[in-house]
Chains A and B, each alone.
Chain A
Amino acid sequence: MDPSGINNFEEQWRKALSEASETPPKSIWENIEARLDENSEKGAVLPLWWQSKKLWLAAASVAALLVVGAGFWFSDSSKNGQNRIEVAGKAAQSPATEKTNMPEAGHAAAQENTEAVASNAPDNIESTDSKSVKENNQTLASATTPRRNVENSSGRSSASRVNSQNSIGAAGKSDIASVENSVLERNQDFAQSNNLASTSISSNEIQNDILAKTESSEKAIAVDMLATPAYNELDIHVQKRYVFFKPDAIAKEDIKPKKHTEYWAGIGLMPASFNPDVQLKNAPQDFSYQALSRTKAVTASSEAGISYALQTHGGVRISKHWSVELGLSYLQGNSSYEGGGYLINSKSQSTNVLENALADASKGSSYSGGTDKFNNGALYVDITNKVANNYQYLQMPVQAGFTLNPDKKLSYSLLGGMMANFFLSNQIEAASGDIITTRASDEIYRSMNWAATTGLRFNYRLSSRWKANLTGSYQKAISSGFRSNQTLDAHPYLYGVAWGVRYSF
């Protein structure tokens, strides 16, 4: 085996395919967005606390407290620092006074000095704060008026030394007039005139350094408490072959519970084949008088006609696969009734078996279908005639659906349920050629009868909200369509294919 050859094969394929790119269709993002919306609407799988305004306000107030607290802490510690500077100054002073034996003069000069400063700029003493200390540390050259106070406190020792070596008059150097000079100049003077002075100043500087360090570390702590951890820039790794193997990644991703509530409304048109399945149990009274016609009359049958239903429905998805839907449809069921012949009397009035049966069924009512005109002398004409027999129903289906592939582009639903059919009207073609219309108020048909319904639906997702569907459906009445089933019986059934669209909310 030639390993280089093998590598070459895979190398070529990898080169060709691993970086390949293909623009996905636009609808994909829409679907993803819809599913994201769905998930976020369901009250969040993850607690999105950072999107809560209240929590932000709380966090902001905590942050504000921290800032203020840190400020207090900071200024406290800087005051302490100042005290320490003074103590240090005094400590440095004592050996100097021992050397010179002129403590009083030193003190006097120093006091004079501080007093002079105090009288010149009384505000400055009070305004000695953390800032001045910090500035101290940063640069001596940028010394400002408040700094003088600090300098003065250290100046107590240096001034004493100046006094001790030169004379009290020399202290005039650092008197009211000299305060007006720049601190830097004075510092330099002190340094030149006395080494001790400079050491004491440098000791002060060390103090200041230490203070500044502790301050800055305190500041850093405060900042750490407030700021989010910073992102590190990732290195760009260039690898020829990267193995991403996470055996438990799939298992982890699968155990997310999801909620699936979704509402929709839809409309559709269903061309159908409707058969009322009208059965004559006994020949109608008029027919039964004609002995011969009896058998013929009851062997007739219904034939399905081209019908249609206008449907509206609304539904709710209650779990990943299950849904419940309700609807309201108008069904125009056309059919024909074949057979039975008809009767004709001496007055040339005629009746076919269906109208006669209906007239029978409507006994006692004001039904216009016919009266007892055919009791005697009527002639039975044995012609297989075919009469139109059309129904209008208002339908209310309640169905449960089980959907396969629910979130995919193409999904399938199995439907099953019950349907209430409210009778609106029936039209039959009379032997005379007229149309006899029977209404619910005629009390021949049941105003409502139940049907069982089942179906198979194909859903095709057009966009995140819209779906087109094609539903094959079968309905069969489980009770008779007639009030009295002595002579007539009807169990309408229907096969249809509905085309529709639906919109999800």
Chain B
Amino acid sequence: MTFNEQELVKGCKQRNRIAQKQLYDVFGGKLFAICLRYTKNRADAEDVLQDAFIKIYENIDSYRGDSPLEYWLRSVVVNTALNHLRQQKYVKELDDIDYHLNGIADREFTLANFQLQQLLELVRELPQGCQTIFNLYAIEGYQHNEIAQKLGISEGTSKSQYARARALLQLKLNKETRFDDGSVRNKQL
């Protein structure tokens, strides 16, 4: 879709409904995928998306154009999702589990054979804490100290939760792969 980002932002700042709708049309899909990653079910994801767009429209004036618009939108959505989880008190239940990255050498690791829906489902099946930290670290690219600060947990907890998420995903992927193409991959775990 072709659109002029500046015009769009300008329109949104003037609370122009057409511009707001266009912003939603352009970015709604990607942002909804983020919501789906951070929540456990579709209804929650829809709630987060709604709240996030309201925040976006209300706070569009604080967007100064110093970073690409999409990054700003994504950060609002991630923050809204975290807020949502915080309200549901999932994050508080995070414990420091004794998981470490134990040299998982997956040189031929690839997700190319998987459908997006499958992968989303795998992420959503993770325990809530693992899911959140996996998203923040692996997909959004935060560092563990930033995640720790964001979620009010220790850096160690973030690391161990991430290691656990990784191990669980690896395990599930191995299962799914066997199931799909009948071949058994080298089990590293």
Smallest CB–CB gap between B58 and chain A, Å?
A: 7
Please determine whether A17 and B101 come into contact, CB atoms closer than 8 angstroms. no
Q: Please, how many angstroms separate the alpha-carbon atoms of A9 and B109 in the complex?
A: 7
Q: Please, how many angstroms separate the alpha-carbon atoms of A36 and B36 in the complex?
A: 23
Please determine whether B29 and A22 come into contact, CB atoms closer than 8 angstroms. yes
| Interface-central residue, B36, B111, B137, B169, by most chain A CB under 10 Å | B111
| Interface-central residue, A19, A35, A244, A408, by most chain B CB under 10 Å | A244
Query: A241: which B residues are within 8 A, CB to CB?
Result: 141
Select A245's contact among B24, B51, B142, beta carbons within 8 Å.
Answer: B142
Query: B37: which A residues are within 8 A, CB to CB?
Result: 17, 20
* Interface status of A5 (Cβ within 8 A of chain B): yes
Q: Please, how many angstroms separate the alpha-carbon atoms of A420 and B153 in the complex?
A: 54
Of B42-50, B89-97, B125-133, B179-187, the segment with at least 4 beta carbons within 8 Å of chain A is B42-50
Please determine whether A234 and B5 come into contact, CB atoms closer than 8 angstroms. yes
Q: What total of A-B pairs shows CB separation below 8 Å?
A: 163
Query: A33: which B residues are within 8 A, CB to CB?
Result: 17, 21
Query: A24: which B residues are within 8 A, CB to CB?
Result: 28-29, 32, 46, 49
Please determine whether A9 and B139 come into contact, CB atoms closer than 8 angstroms. no
Of A183-191, A249-257, A492-500, the segment with at least 4 beta carbons within 8 Å of chain B is A249-257
The A9-65 residues at the B interface (CB cut-off 8 A) are 9-10, 12-25, 27-29, 31-33, 35-36, 39-40, 45-46, 48, 50-51
* Interface status of B98 (Cβ within 8 A of chain A): no
Please determine whether B101 and A234 come into contact, CB atoms closer than 8 angstroms. no
The closest CB in chain B to the CB of A35 belongs to B54
Please determine whether B46 and A245 come into contact, CB atoms closer than 8 angstroms. no
* Interface status of A366 (Cβ within 8 A of chain B): no
Q: Please, how many angstroms separate the alpha-carbon atoms of A32 and B51 in the complex?
A: 8
* Interface status of A237 (Cβ within 8 A of chain B): yes
Please determine whether B49 and A28 come into contact, CB atoms closer than 8 angstroms. yes
Query: A234: which B residues are within 8 A, CB to CB?
Result: 5-6, 65, 68
Q: Please, how many angstroms separate the alpha-carbon atoms of A27 and B17 in the complex?
A: 16
Q: Please, how many angstroms separate the alpha-carbon atoms of A408 and B10 in the complex?
A: 29
Q: Please, how many angstroms separate the alpha-carbon atoms of A10 and B72 in the complex?
A: 22
Query: B111: which A residues are within 8 A, CB to CB?
Result: 12-13, 15-16
Please determine whether B119 and A16 come into contact, CB atoms closer than 8 angstroms. yes
Q: Please, how many angstroms separate the alpha-carbon atoms of A134 and B152 in the complex?
A: 68
Please determine whether A36 and B57 come into contact, CB atoms closer than 8 angstroms. yes
Please determine whether B110 and A12 come into contact, CB atoms closer than 8 angstroms. yes
Query: A1: which B residues are within 8 A, CB to CB?
Result: 101, 103
Select B116's contact among A12, A16, A231, beta carbons within 8 Å.
Answer: A16
Select B55's contact among A12, A15, A20, A253, beta carbons within 8 Å.
Answer: A253
Size bin of chain B's contact surface: 35 or more
Q: Please, how many angstroms separate the alpha-carbon atoms of A246 and B149 in the complex?
A: 11
The closest CB in chain A to the CB of B101 belongs to A1
Smallest CB–CB gap between B176 and chain A, Å?
A: 13
The closest CB in chain B to the CB of A240 belongs to B141
Assess A25 versus B46: contact at CB under 8 Å? Given A234-B65, A234-B68: yes
The B1-47 residues at the A interface (CB cut-off 8 A) are 5-6, 10, 14-15, 17, 20-21, 24, 28-30, 32-33, 36-37, 43, 46-47
Smallest CB–CB gap between A242 and chain B, Å?
A: 5
Please determine whether A32 and B119 come into contact, CB atoms closer than 8 angstroms. no
The closest CB in chain A to the CB of B16 belongs to A51
* Interface status of A409 (Cβ within 8 A of chain B): yes
Smallest CB–CB gap between B9 and chain A, Å?
A: 9
The closest CB in chain A to the CB of B134 belongs to A13
Please determine whether B138 and A5 come into contact, CB atoms closer than 8 angstroms. no
Please determine whether B29 and A242 come into contact, CB atoms closer than 8 angstroms. no
The closest CB in chain B to the CB of A36 belongs to B57
Q: Please, how many angstroms separate the alpha-carbon atoms of A319 and B37 in the complex?
A: 32
* Interface status of B120 (Cβ within 8 A of chain A): yes
Please determine whether B103 and A36 come into contact, CB atoms closer than 8 angstroms. no
Smallest CB–CB gap between A9 and chain B, Å?
A: 6
| Interface-central residue, A23, A29, A237, A254, by most chain B CB under 10 Å | A29
12 contacts between A and B (CB under 8 A): A12-B109, A16-B111, A20-B30, A20-B33, A28-B53, A45-B58, A243-B141, A249-B76, A250-B82, A253-B76, A407-B51, A409-B46
Q: A17-B120, A244-B78 are in contact. List 10 more A-B contacts (CB 8 A).
A: A9-B109, A10-B138, A20-B33, A21-B30, A28-B49, A46-B61, A241-B141, A244-B74, A250-B83, A410-B43
Which 8 residue pairs of A and B lie closest in terms of their CB atoms, listed nearest first? A244-B75, A21-B29, A20-B33, A24-B32, A241-B141, A22-B33, A12-B111, A10-B138
Residue ranges of A at the interface with B (Cβ–Cβ < 8 Å) = 1-2, 4-6, 8-10, 12-25, 27-29, 31-33, 35-36, 39-40, 45-46, 48, 50-51, 231, 233-234, 236-237, 241-247, 249-250, 252-254, 256, 407-410
